[in-house]
A and B are shown apart, each in its own frame.
Chain A
Amino acid sequence: MPRTRLYSLDELDDIPGTKVFRALESRQAYHLHKFCMSLMSEDNRAAFRADERAYLDRYKMTEEQKQAVLARDLTKLIELGGNMYFLVKIASTDGWSAQKAVSSMSGMSAEEYAQMMKDGGRSPEGLRSKKDQN
Chain B
Amino acid sequence: MARISAGIATSHVPAIGAAIDNGRTRDEYWAPVFEGYEFVKEWVKDNTPDVVILVYNDHASALMLDIVPTFALGFAEEFLPADEGWGRRPVPTVHNHLELAAHIAEQLVIDEFDITLINEMDVDHGLTVPLSLVFGQPEEWPCKVIPLAVNVTQFPTPSGERCWKLGEALRNAVKTFPEDLNVQVWGTGGMSHQLQGTRAGLINAEFDQRFIDLLAHEPEELKYITRIEYLRETGTEGIELIMWLIMRAALGYGVEEKHRFYRVPASNTAVGHVVYEARS
Contacts and interface: CB of A to CB of B under 8 A. Distances in A.
Interface in B82-133: 82-87
Contacts of B15: 97-99
A51 to B, nearest CB: 19
A59 to B, nearest CB: 12
Interface in B177-206: 192, 194-205
Contact of A21 (B84, B153, B203, B207): B153
A29 B83 CA distance: 21
Nearest to A34: B65
Contacts of B200: 17, 102-103, 105-106, 113, 122
Nearest to A2: B224
B134 interface: no
A92 B61 CA distance: 13
Contacts of A106: 197-198, 200-201
B231 A12 contact: yes
A88 interface: yes
A116 B200 CA distance: 11
A69 interface: no
Interface string A23-46: 100100010011011011110010
Contacts of B61: 37, 40
Interface in B151-197: 153-156, 159-162, 192, 194-197
Chain A CB count within 10 A is highest, among B153, B200, B232, B233, for: B200
Interface residues of B, number: 50
A98 B85 contact: no
The dominant DSSP class at the B interface is: loop
Interface stretch (B3-11, B71-79, B141-149, B265-273): B265-273
A18 interface: yes
A127 interface: yes
B85 A7 contact: no
A49 interface: no
A56 interface: no
B51 to A, nearest CB: 27
Given A17-B197, A105-B200, A106-B198, A85 B232 contact: no
B199 A122 contact: yes
Interface in B9-65: 14-15, 59-61, 64-65
A91 B195 CA distance: 13
Chain B CB count within 10 A is highest, among A15, A23, A85, for: A85
B203 A85 contact: no
A69 to B, nearest CB: 14
B228 interface: yes
Interface in A82-134: 83-86, 88-93, 95, 97-99, 102-103, 105-107, 113, 116-118, 120-124, 127-129
A99 B59 CA distance: 16
Nearest to B82: A40
B203 A122 contact: yes
Given A85-B59, A92-B85, A117 B202 contact: no
A97 B198 CA distance: 18
B72 to A, nearest CB: 16
B222 interface: no
B270 A16 contact: no
B245 to A, nearest CB: 13
10 contacts: A5-B224, A9-B155, A33-B64, A83-B153, A102-B268, A105-B198, A116-B201, A120-B264, A124-B207, A129-B232
Interface of A: 4-5, 7, 9, 11-12, 15-23, 26, 30, 33-34, 36-37, 39-42, 45, 74-75, 78, 83-86, 88-93, 95, 97-99, 102-103, 105-107, 113, 116-118, 120-124, 127-129
